[in-house]
Amino acid sequence: MQTNGIKKIGDYTVTRILGRCAQACVYLAHNAAGKFFAIKDFNNPANLTAEVVNLTSFDHVNLIKLYESKADGVHTRLGDYVLPCTYAVLEPALGGEIFDFVATGAFPEPIARMYFKKMMDGIKELHTHGVYHRDLKPDNIFLGSDLELKIADFGMSKNIADMVGTTTRTRLGTEPYMSPELLAA
């Protein structure tokens, strides 16, 4: 299994890469007790802030769970080299990205409706607490091993309390999924 040469992140033993994005690499790893987690290893320590701040207060079935974060963590690479890193320990969503299911047309309409409702329940929870995801797309919506829908990747999220007196016309996110208003700006 590919691990980018990383054996451990903090106290977690890396098993394999789950995915990559512009800001981080996500690994499947386990603790000493054998429990599995998704470890999001950030390229830049500043990228950890939004993810942690906007996920810390949630415990909702349709939002990925944050267990811990470290701004001053370490990697242990093959050859026992130790390097600094910044990471978040998240609930693993091993059922895959919704994108993979949508692309193959795998969901009959009643199942698609059920998952749409679960996605809206997660978004409602975020918005009730003033958090806006700002990069919601099929690649950031996962299924847990129990096939429960999980909204993930809060790296571009914002809390409305931080935006008082500002507009949200910053061009962030993935262009094919951006609103027409942002694309026109």
The CA-CA-CA angle for residues 80, 38, 94, to 5°, reads 130
SS (H, E, C) 123-180: HHHHHHCCEECCCCCHHHEEECCCCCEEECCCCCCEEHHHHCCCCCCCCCCCHHHCCH
- Residue of 46, 43, 39 lying closest to 8 (CA atoms): 39
Map residue 120 onto helix, strand or coil: helix
- Residue of 87, 86, 88, 114 lying closest to 101 (CA atoms): 114
Query: Which residues are known to be catalytic?
Result: 135
Residue with tokens 């990228």: 47
Retrieve residue 49's tokens.
């802030």
For residue 46, give the DSSP letter: G
The CA-CA-CA angle for residues 150, 154, 156, to 5°, reads 145
